[in-house]
Amino acid sequence: MSTARVVVIGAGIGGLVTALELASNGVDVTVLERAGGPGGKLREVAPGGVAMDAGPTVFTMRWVFDELFDALGLRLADHLALQPVSVLARHAWRGDQRLDLFADIARSADAIGRFAGAAESRGYLAFCERARGIYRALEMPFLRGTRPTPLSLVRRAGWRGLPELLRISPFATLASELGRHFTDPRLRQLFGRYATYCGSSPFLAPATLMLVAHVEQDGVWLVDGGMHRIAQTLAALARQRGATLRFDAPVDEILVRGDAACGVRLADGETLAADAVVFNGDVAALTSGLLGGAVFDACAPAVPTSRSLSALTLNLLAPTDGFPLSRHTVFFADDPAREFDDIFRDRLLPASPTVYVCAQDRGGDEIGATPASGTAERLLLIVNAPPVGDLRPFTQEELARCEAQTFRTLSRCGLQVTRHPERTVRTTPQDFERLFPATGGALYGQASHGWAASFRRPGARSRLPGLFLAGGSVHPGPGVPMAALSGRQAAASVIARLTATGPQRSRRPSTSTSAPTATPGGTSTP
């Protein structure tokens, strides 16, 4: 094992976790990343010269990282400072209609009762119990398991877990199931938003996504220094354990000899031999030929019409007024059905968008830090958008119109933001496509539409021996903790192969079975 060599393509969370575990097991690991630093979608930008998160904004499923650090003989608390939040999010509709959800279920139920009535409060408690049951049914056989099939899911659950598994409503949509718990359309809209956490529409995604509610209630934390600190920490630990991390190092091609991956060729022509290759990127980059023809069919082809959501994001350094922002605030559109029709049916920027605002200088509770009046604060605004960055780039007029509507939505709820172009970083679906090629800007792999969508995600082992997969486009799905789980599964699969076959470094890579050079910089990192 100590002489085995593995190349990891992509320094997103999945790739970093893979490298960290492999290096800790004595494997010679090299991570190649086309960007200038680690993180992938867990990225950072600096409008006005001030660094802020520009990707995922919440830390959940802490147990994933506790278990990872425990396996490495470390304590998570010694490396990341985490603060639990009491307010999960503030939600706003037209005028002064506002609702806070709390980590404490009883407090949320009381708030919902005051907001929409006692019947809706009872519906919320039933909804939470249902979400807890779905999570309990799926954690071991699905989240922690290798890529499942419907049959293997039932087999893993066992006869004790089968009753709960049968109650998860896999064939119902999230929107329809929410109608059984809530009559208030605002609450159906609020909890339907959980589908967007995996880049999907609540009108098409399965009801199993109700489990997100339990994930949040189980704990949401703020990371001191921002979410990007997670990537920096994992990268530093991987180096300490002996991994080599190379940035500004795009991979052109995964090399194959015989019937197995045997190395990579970088854009500058350098070749690295390997006993195994881990691709930490969207599988669409493989199936589009961006990593060479020899790995073209290593996974089932990604279908552009099945892509998950993209986004139009604005990172701002700007003062705000008129609305008491929480750390996480959602300003809802008037017509949620039209919003998702615009995106998934018509492939347009939403005419009336829901806007998520992460106020990164504010705390996660009622008495958290609030910037003084007139003081610029770090804001991330996210509007859902169609993943068409490679098919139909939006014009400046379309983008400007969506931005104007975005701020009208905020203003309608009372929030005023004083913007300055020199303190703004805008990222469009076309920009996300450049960052993560072959995705069209989709940020979550394939959308979770229909009961079978989760079973179509590839697992850690590709169809090609020696080529392994990690990241948000593979099992168990998108999001920081899910990507970390995929990285752990990839590392375990690599170790199992190396243990079974032994290192093969004497076999020199060959490009004889590969197609002509793929597009430079063709790797993508979640």
Is there a single domain that holds both residue 178 and residue 250?
Answer: no
The DSSP secondary-structure symbol of 73 reads T
Is there a single domain that holds both residue 430 and residue 325?
Answer: yes
- Given a cut of 90, whether residue 384 has pLDDT beyond it is yes
Q: Hey, what long-range contacts does 265-271 have (CB within 8 A, 24 or more apart)?
A: 265/509, 265/511, 266/32, 267/520, 267/521, 271/509
Q: Which of 192, 218, 244 is the last residue of a domain?
A: 218
Is there a single domain that holds both residue 15 and residue 123?
Answer: no
Whether 76 maps to a domain, the answer reads no
Whether 93 maps to a domain, the answer reads no
Report in angstroms the alpha-carbon separations of 85 from 54, 218, 363, 374. Answer: 20, 11, 8, 26
Tell me how many degrees the CA angle 378-429-346 measures, rounded to the nearest 5: 125
Residue 122 one-letter amino acid: R
**Can you tell me the distance from the alpha carbon of 146 to that of 14, in angstroms, rounded to the nearest whole number?**
15
Three-class DSSP labels, 332-380: CCCCHHHHHHHHHHCCCCCCCCCEEEEECCCCCCCCCCCCCCCCCEEEE
Q: How confident is the model over 42-71, as pLDDT tens digits?
A: 999 999 999 999 999 999 999 999 999 999
Is there a single domain that holds both residue 201 and residue 264?
Answer: no
Q: Which of 435, 465, 483 is the last residue of a domain?
A: 435
- Given a cut of 90, whether residue 152 has pLDDT beyond it is no
- Kindly state the average pLDDT of the residues 322-350: 96
- Given a cut of 70, whether residue 521 has pLDDT beyond it is no
Instruction: Please indicate whether residue 492 or residue 165 has the higher confidence score (pLDDT).
Output: 492
pLDDT of residue 512: 32
pLDDT of residue 523: 35
**Can you tell me the distance from the alpha carbon of 479 to that of 230, in angstroms, rounded to the nearest whole number?**
13
The DSSP secondary-structure symbol of 465 reads T
Is there a single domain that holds both residue 134 and residue 204?
Answer: yes
Whether 466 maps to a domain, the answer reads yes
Which residues in 267-309 belong to E strands, given as ranges? 271-273, 276-280
> What string of DSSP letters covers 189-258?
HHHHGGGGGGT--TTTSBGGGGHHHHHHHT--EEETT-THHHHHHHHHHHHHTT-EEESS--EEEEEEET
Q: How confident is the model over 297-308, as pLDDT tens digits?
A: 999 887 888 999
Is there a single domain that holds both residue 209 and residue 263?
Answer: no
Confidence of residue 149 (pLDDT cuts 50, 70, 90): low
Q: Which of 218, 238, 268 is the last residue of a domain?
A: 218
Q: How confident is the model over 424-473, as pLDDT tens digits?
A: 999 999 999 999 999 999 999 999 998 777 778 899 999 999 999 999 99
Whether 88 maps to a domain, the answer reads no
Is there a single domain that holds both residue 121 and residue 190?
Answer: yes
Residue 365 one-letter amino acid: D
- Given a cut of 60, whether residue 159 has pLDDT beyond it is no
Domain that holds residue 348: 309-435
Is there a single domain that holds both residue 354 and residue 431?
Answer: yes
pLDDT of residue 373: 75
Confidence of residue 148 (pLDDT cuts 50, 70, 90): low
Torsion of CA 344, 347, 352, 357, to 10 degrees: 80
Whether 372 maps to a domain, the answer reads yes
pLDDT of residue 520: 28
Instruction: Give Dmax (Cα) for the chain.
Output: 71
- Work out the number of other CB atoms within 10 angstroms of the CB of residue 152: 15
Is there a single domain that holds both residue 263 and residue 324?
Answer: no
Count CA atoms within 13 Å of residue 417 on its CB side.
Answer: 28
The DSSP secondary-structure symbol of 55 reads S
- Kindly state the average pLDDT of the residues 85-114: 96
Instruction: Please indicate whether residue 156 or residue 32 has the higher confidence score (pLDDT).
Output: 32
pLDDT of residue 455: 75
**Can you tell me the distance from the alpha carbon of 130 to that of 213, in angstroms, rounded to the nearest whole number?**
10
**Can you tell me the distance from the alpha carbon of 325 to that of 415, in angstroms, rounded to the nearest whole number?**
8
**Can you tell me the distance from the alpha carbon of 500 to that of 473, in angstroms, rounded to the nearest whole number?**
27
Contacts of 282 by beta carbon, 8 Å cutoff, 6+ apart: 302, 436, 438, 439, 442, 445, 471, 472, 473, 524, 526
Task: Return the percentage of the chain with pLDDT > 70, whole number.
Answer: 89
- Highest-scoring range by mean pLDDT, 110-114, 152-156, 500-504: 110-114
Is there a single domain that holds both residue 204 and residue 255?
Answer: no
Which token pair is 166? 């049968």
Whether 66 maps to a domain, the answer reads no
pLDDT of residue 509: 37
Whether 26 maps to a domain, the answer reads yes
Cis preceding linkage at 304, omega within 30: no
Confidence of residue 499 (pLDDT cuts 50, 70, 90): very high
Confidence of residue 517 (pLDDT cuts 50, 70, 90): very low
Domain total for the chain?
Answer: 3
In this prediction the pTM is 0.91
pLDDT of residue 372: 75
Whether 523 maps to a domain, the answer reads no
Is there a single domain that holds both residue 292 and residue 272?
Answer: yes
**Can you tell me the distance from the alpha carbon of 450 to that of 150, in angstroms, rounded to the nearest whole number?**
13
pLDDT of residue 305: 85
pLDDT of residue 510: 34
- Given a cut of 90, whether residue 137 has pLDDT beyond it is no
Torsion of CA 424, 430, 436, 437, to 10 degrees: -160
Task: Return the percentage of the chain with pLDDT > 90, whole number.
Answer: 80
On average, the pLDDT of the chain sits at: 90
Is there a single domain that holds both residue 185 and residue 244?
Answer: no
Report in angstroms the alpha-carbon separations of 439 from 32, 40, 150, 271. Answer: 20, 14, 27, 26
Among 19-28, 171-180, 479-488, 509-518, where is mean pLDDT lowest? Answer: 509-518
